[in-house]
Structure 1
Amino acid sequence: MIDHITIEVSDLKKSKHFYEKAFAPLGYSLSFGKEGVFWAFDVGNGCLFEIQRTGEKAPLTYLHVAFRAGSRAEVDAFYRTALEAGAADNGAPGPRPDYAGNYYACFVLDPDGYNIEAMINEPSTSLSSGGART
């Protein structure tokens, strides 16, 4: 399942206004964000649709998709397999406490350079080693 998708927008204020209005009939609403940087909309089932201003210096690309994994071992396996399949490393598997207390993720760049993430945000008794998001 997709956990969140992030797209770059040229005018963050205009896009925020657009999505707030357009999502209202669907029952989706603004969840959190940072003025002038990004906004995240709750689109149901714990999923987010995020907008980020173009040119923001961040580890995201024009399009970022995060897939939910069932375990930290699945995140690790996704990372290894994606690299073997030709992806470029964009952040080894590991805890991301700056995202959330139990957030564990990895990031790869697909053949077109899009930032693809596998993540889980649940407690685990066994931590895998890994680096910070790059």
Structure 2
Amino acid sequence: MIGHITIEVSNLAKSKLFYEQAFSPLNYSLAFGKKGVFWAFNVGNGCLFEIQSTGEKPPLTRLHVAFRVKSKAEVDVFHRAALEAGATDNGATGPRPGYGPNYYACFVLDPDGYNIQAMINEA
């Protein structure tokens, strides 16, 4: 399952208003964010759709996808398999307390340089 997808937008304020309006009939709502940096929309089933600003410092990649897995072991296995398949390490497996007290993840860059994450956020 997809945990979240983040895309780069050229005008964060304009895109925020657009998605608020476009998502309204779907009952998707703004969940959290940081003015001038990013906004996250709750799109159901624990999934988020995020927009981020290019800002003064461009984001790492124009597209980021986080896959929600069932265990820390799956995060570890994904990381190893991705590296063996040719990915570049972009964050070893481990806790991410800045994302939440039970958040465990890894990050790799795929062959096109996109940031791909495997994560679990245990309750």
Range of TM-score over shorter length: over 0.9
Rate the CA distance shift 1:56–1:93 in 2: closer, same or farther, 3 A. farther
Rate the CA distance shift 1:117–1:59 in 2: closer, same or farther, 3 A. farther
Q: Distance in 2 between matches of 1:71 and 1:120?
A: 6
TM-score (norm 2): 0.96
Q: What is the deviation of 1:54? A: 1.4
**How is 1:1-134 mapped onto 2 (pairs within 5 angstroms)?**
1-55=1-55, 57=57, 60-122=60-122
**SS state at 2:91 partner:** coil
**Greater strand proportion:** 2
Moved over 6 A (4+): none
Q: Distance in 2 between matches of 1:66 and 1:59?
A: 15
Q: Give the aligned residue type for 1:101.
A: P
**SS state at 1:92 partner:** strand
RMSD across aligned C-alpha pairs, in angstroms? 1.3
Rate the CA distance shift 1:96–1:110 in 2: closer, same or farther, 3 A. same
Q: What is the deviation of 1:55? A: 4.4
Q: Is the 8 A contact 2:69 2:119 kept in 1?
A: yes
Q: Distance in 2 between matches of 1:11 and 1:32?
A: 18
Where structure 2 has 5 or more consecutive residues not aligned to the other structure, the ranges are none
Q: What is the deviation of 1:56? A: 5.8
How many residue pairs align between the two structures? 123
Q: What is the deviation of 1:57? A: 3.7
Q: Distance in 2 between matches of 1:14 and 1:98?
A: 28
**SS state at 1:98 partner:** coil
The equivalent residue for 1:131 is none
